[in-house]
Amino acid sequence: MGRFSKVVIVLLLAAGIAYYWLLVNAGPRGVAARPFDIAALRAAANAERGAKPTGISFVILATRRIPSASLAAGTGLRQVTSGVIAWRIDTPGGGIVLDPGLSPADADAMGFTGYNKAGMALVDDWMGRAELILFSHAHVDHVGRFLDHPQFDDIADKALITPGMLGGINALWRENGSHIAKTRKLGPIEAVAPGVVVIQTPGHTPASQMVYVQLASGREYLFTGDTASLAPNFERATPRSRLLSDILVPEDRPAVIGWLKGLKALKEHNKALVLLPSHDADWVQENRAAFGIVSELGSKPSRD
Ligand SMILES: [Zn+2]
């Protein structure tokens, strides 16, 4: 074998190993599941007196095409739409906003190609009317639009920010230093409104949370935050690629895998429970009728 051929073979092997490690490997193996106690979630949802939420609405604020494997290791290079999805839990008190998304400049900086300005105006309005604003975690694509709200001083007190989230949120503050001082410590599972329960799920960030919702109709939802960005994360219990979780957006990978195993088991035992991943724009759009959730601005984000 010529020297050139050997070099080519070594390079191909190295590329193959790098591809496998960075985009396919879903380990470490043997991580124990972190279980979700559905009975405890239901009990907490029913412990708060008052009217439960009546529906779930969403807006896709920004989109970009990415290889599936980047957000779900081992799922291949097929392009999927990663979207920034803002959610509203419809309540009699004006609604609860979950993850109001980000502003156009941050969307640009993160490589999102489509931005939905009409959606941004709607989410601003949601926050203006809301009784409560929740965040799955303190990353800019989940918190940014809250910080940039045109009437920030009027809405700031509606945000439920845990002590563990405060550092991340104030690090995103661009102009006047730390504006947020009010925090509320939550237990591992804690109701924040009738039918709405926040679950502490540290892993993607140390203060990451999921939100369980039981509507007045009895229908149940679990918002997974970035622990499951795409549906395959919980369908296969596969985490983000190591390219993301070890290098670009470091997270506690074993903890995330534990939660994903917990979500997979939870879904298997509760087939009617709807799991809603944070960035799976295609999947959420395609299944919205089956899930009984409402896309506020039609089926596709506008590209203005
Ligand atoms: Zn995110």
> Ligand 1 center to residue 139 CA distance, Å?
7
pLDDT digits (tens, 9 = 90+) for 19-71: 888 888 888 899 999 999 999 999 999 998 999 999 999 999 999 999 999 99
**pLDDT category of residue 167 using cuts at 50, 70 and 90:** confident
> Ligand 1 center to residue 100 CA distance, Å?
11
Mean pLDDT, rounded, for 220-229: 98
Is the pTM higher than 0.75? The answer reads yes
Residue pair 197/212 in contact (Cβ under 8 Å)? The answer is: yes
Encoded tokens for 169? 């949120």
Q: H or E element: which one contains 237?
A: none
| Cα–Cα distance list, 185 to 163, 182, 301 (Å) | 6, 10, 36
**pLDDT given for residue 175 in this prediction:** 58
Residue type, 53: P
> Ligand 1 center to residue 220 CA distance, Å?
23
Treating both helix axes as pointing N-terminal to C-terminal, what angle do 140-147 and 163-172 enclose, rounded to 10 degrees? Answer: 70
Residue pair 62/84 in contact (Cβ under 8 Å)? The answer is: yes
**pLDDT given for residue 24 in this prediction:** 81
CATH 3.60.15.10 fits 3-26+33-295, yes or no: yes
pLDDT digits (tens, 9 = 90+) for 128-151: 999 999 999 999 999 999 999 999
Mean pLDDT, rounded, for 154-180: 82
Q: Report the DSSP pairing between strands 96-98 and 55-67.
A: unpaired
Q: What secondary structure does DSSP assign to 285-297, as a single string?
A: HHTHHHHTEEETT
> Ligand 1 center to residue 50 CA distance, Å?
32
> Ligand 1 center to residue 137 CA distance, Å?
8
Q: List alpha helices for the chain, DSSP H.
A: 3-19, 38-47, 68-71, 104-109, 117-129, 140-147, 152-155, 163-172, 231-235, 242, 253-269, 281-286, 288-291
**pLDDT given for residue 207 in this prediction:** 97
Of 69-73, 153-157, 258-262, where does the model show the most confidence?
258-262
> Ligand 1 center to residue 205 CA distance, Å?
11
> Ligand 1 center to residue 103 CA distance, Å?
14
**pLDDT given for residue 96 in this prediction:** 98
**pLDDT given for residue 51 in this prediction:** 96
> Ligand 1 center to residue 186 CA distance, Å?
22
> Ligand 1 center to residue 279 CA distance, Å?
7
> Ligand 1 center to residue 229 CA distance, Å?
7
What is the domain partition of the chain in residue ranges? 3-26+33-295
> Ligand 1 center to residue 185 CA distance, Å?
22
> Ligand 1 center to residue 99 CA distance, Å?
9
Question: How many C-alpha atoms does 58 have within 13 Å on its Cβ side?
Answer: 31
> Ligand 1 center to residue 11 CA distance, Å?
34
> Ligand 1 center to residue 77 CA distance, Å?
20
> Ligand 1 center to residue 141 CA distance, Å?
5
